[in-house]
């Protein structure tokens, strides 16, 4: 019984000491504790770079020929523009014909040859940025470039 009384007494004294060491937070006029410092610099919104859909580089992979090449992210402006495909794309029969590309309003990406004829058409992919949908016998994907 004595042990229980001593334990309870020590517990109460400990709780009182602990509570006296803590000071209540002082709240400033803006609702934050007074000791919280907020950097007042306004950084603005993160704005997407005009004509870019992502990080700046993508990799085109022709699954039939095994060719893979890195290029800039296709523009999303809807305008027809030159497709800057590198020498590695020449290893693919389909990608070697690409001269221009254009993003359509429905999110698809169209790639054309020098005469303007559609060579490949891509739809936004599941797990990839784009996957080829036209012509049906092509197997080309576009993924974010790493490194």
Look at residue 80 and tell me if it is in a domain: yes
Q: 68 and 146 in contact (C-beta within 8 Å)?
A: no
- For the entire predicted model, the pTM comes to 0.59
Look at residue 83 and tell me if it is in a domain: yes
Look at residue 117 and tell me if it is in a domain: yes
Encoded tokens for 10:
């020590």
The pLDDT tens digits for 111-143 are: 999 999 999 999 998 888 889 999 989 999 999
The pLDDT tens digits for 38-51 are: 555 554 444 333 33
Query: What average pLDDT does this structure show over 4-16?
Result: 61
* Number of other residues whose CB lies within 10 A of the CB of residue 13: 10
The pLDDT value recorded for residue 15 is: 59
- Per the structure, the complete domain to which residue 138 belongs is given by 57-144
> In angstroms, rounded to a whole number, what is the distance separating the alpha carbons of residues 100 and 119?
10
Look at residue 10 and tell me if it is in a domain: no
Provide the edge-to-edge strand list for the sheet that holds 57-62. 68-72, 57-62, 140-144, 130-134, 118-124, 109-112, 100-103, 81-82
The pLDDT value recorded for residue 85 is: 86
Using the predicted structure, report yes or no on whether residue 52 has a pLDDT greater than 80.
Answer: no
The pLDDT value recorded for residue 43 is: 47
Q: 40 by DSSP, 3-state: which? A: coil
Q: What's the number of domains the chain is made of? A: 1
Look at residue 19 and tell me if it is in a domain: no
Look at residue 119 and tell me if it is in a domain: yes
């Amino acid at each position: 019984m004595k042990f229980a009384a001593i334990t309870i007494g020590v517990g109460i004294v400990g709780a009182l000491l602990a509570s006296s060491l803590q000071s209540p937070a002082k709240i400033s006029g803006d609702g934050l504790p007074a000791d919280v410092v907020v950097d007042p610099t306004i950084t603005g919104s993160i704005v997407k770079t005009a004509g870019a859909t992502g990080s700046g580089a993508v990799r085109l992979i022709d699954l039939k020929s095994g060719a893979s090449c890195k290029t800039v992210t296709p523009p999303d402006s809807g305008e027809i523009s030159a497709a800057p495909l590198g020498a590695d794309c020449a290893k693919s029969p389909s990608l070697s014909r690409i001269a221009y590309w254009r993003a359509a309003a429905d999110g698809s990406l169209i790639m054309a040859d020098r005469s303007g004829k559609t060579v490949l058409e891509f739809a936004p992919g599941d797990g990839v940025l784009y996957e080829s949908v036209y012509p049906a016998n092509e197997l080309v994907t576009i993924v974010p470039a790493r490194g």
